[in-house]
Amino acid sequence: MPVNDCLDRYREVVDDWPAFRAAVSTPLPTTIWAHPERISRDALQALLAEDGVEAKPVGWHPRALRLAEGLRPGVHWGQAAGLYHAQEEASMVPVTLLDPQSGHRVLDLCAAPGNKTAQAALALGNRGTVVANDVAKGRLAAIRHLIKRLGLMNVSVTCRPAQDYSPQAGGFDRIIADVPCTCEGTVRKSSQRSAQALCETRERLTSRQVAILDKAVRLCRPGGRIVYSTCTFAPEENEQVVDTLLRRYPDDLRLLPVSLPGLHLSSGLTEWQGQSFLPALVNAARLWPHHNNTGGFFIALLEKVGGSCREAERAEEVPADDHWIRGILQRYAIPDTVLEGLRLVHRGRKYAQLIAADHEPPVRPERAFFGLPTVGVQVKPPKLTTAGVMALAPHVRRNVVDLDDVQAQGYTARQVVTLRPGQGIELGESGSVVVRRRGYGLGLGVVSPVEQDGSRQLTSLYPRSWASEVS
């Protein structure tokens, strides 16, 4: 039996069954959100429109846009340049409701591929502390790439089973527990799993989901909040899990009511197939695909009103050699004020990382990586990484070239580009330059000496692994 037929078990709890079935049978819209430190939503919408990409604002989210049907995020170079990030609309809801604020210490227990981590990191203004954890070492590469592309300087990444996360890592003011689930709500992405497979997976996952949420409760500071979410419809993985924890910690947990103006959130269930849940479960939220033209999601926002947690010791970091970054600031005439609230640290042989000065990472578990790889230190003199260029490009005032659209397409295809006479700002005789497109950083290049006609050749240093992302 295909997964679509498995959804028949929800007929009695869906308000409009024909509309629901029609919705899950259609493709899922593509949504993106504008990087708040790089571009406004209005400016991003206009930039996309100039290049023939139609996008409309998402009413409930101040930075989100929905692309026209059939368009994918990678059709525009802005994705590779980190101007926006693609994320399913329903998936944006949990962190929006969690509402991380400056000064909060945030943990994302099941972070890969990093969408919610990025939301939280930028909600903190790219300062403070976000710890992103995932059990699968192979999935950390997606988080690392997202950190580079979006220029995140307040994230440390760990690799541990969420349910066994070290108590030495606590306490946290905000915890994201977007747990592994049967993913029924992603049926619009053409899942072909069978109903039998879903049921077998559900039985395995429920105890794990309870254990992960229990760990979140233990790591959360009193007065802090936890968002528990899944992309499945199953009450066994949703209301039943939250009900279990509310009964386990009756004096320490409170389920908060939630709402987002412009978004239809349905109430959680208080009973299912003869099983009754606590009346408070009405405060949980469900996103049904036919209400908002999204995927399916479940969200519960919990406040820890009692109990305690173990406070963490801050991990120490090795300060980087100051001249590594000072030489770069001088070459590109970047003001020293850009480094306010940041510190340069060194781990490994290849890079020095910029990380928020007020970042408070845990001693345990040990971090797989942290901060933004900004300076490549294996070469002499040290040079900016592509991620460093993208983060610092707006502040560059010397040795910088702004390419037109045709030139930029050649650059991101790793071709040699001819610069017109006088193109570029205070270029030296030759050497490395910051490359921008419409003022937004793309990466590094090397310019040749001036030729007889006044032109120069720009050799692209755009990373091979990034070239496929740019149209």
List the binding residues: 110-116, 134, 178
3-state DSSP assignment of residue 351: strand
**Within a 13 Å sphere around the CA of 184, how many CA atoms are in the beta-carbon half?**
29
Q: Which of 6, 159, 231, 309 is catalytic?
A: 231
> In degrees rounded to 5, what are phi and psi of residue 174?
-140, 130
**Which amino acid type is present at position 95?**
V
Query: Is residue 6 annotated as a catalytic residue, yes or no?
Result: no
CA angle 189, 39, 342 (to 5 degrees): 105
Gyration radius from the chain CA atoms: 24
Determine contact, residues 65/34, Cβ cutoff 8 Å.
yes
Determine contact, residues 387/151, Cβ cutoff 8 Å.
yes
Residue 448 vs residues 51, 154, 429, 431, 458: alpha-carbon distances, Å: 31, 37, 8, 7, 7
Residue 454 vs residues 273, 418, 460: alpha-carbon distances, Å: 78, 11, 19
Cα separation, 419 vs 428, in Å, equals 14
**436 bridge partner residues:** 402, 441
Distance of CA 15 to the CA centre of its chain: 32
**Which amino acid type is present at position 12?**
E
**How does DSSP assign 413-460, residue by residue?**
TT--EEEPTT-SBS--SSEEEEEEETTEEEEEEEEPPP-TTS-EEEEE
Maximum distance among all alpha carbons in the chain?
A: 85
Tokens of 437: 């497109």
Residue numbers in the known binding site for S-adenosyl-L-methionine are: 110-116, 134, 178
Residue 297 vs residues 46, 237, 373: alpha-carbon distances, Å: 31, 11, 34
**Which amino acid type is present at position 205?**
L
Cα separation, 158 vs 361, in Å, equals 10
Q: Which residues contact 89 (CB under 8 A, 6 or more apart)?
A: 29, 31, 58, 61, 64, 66, 292, 294, 295
Residue 131 vs residues 63, 287, 365, 439: alpha-carbon distances, Å: 23, 27, 10, 31
Angle between helices 195-219 and 239-248 (to 10 degrees): 30
For the annotated catalytic residues, the residue numbers are 231
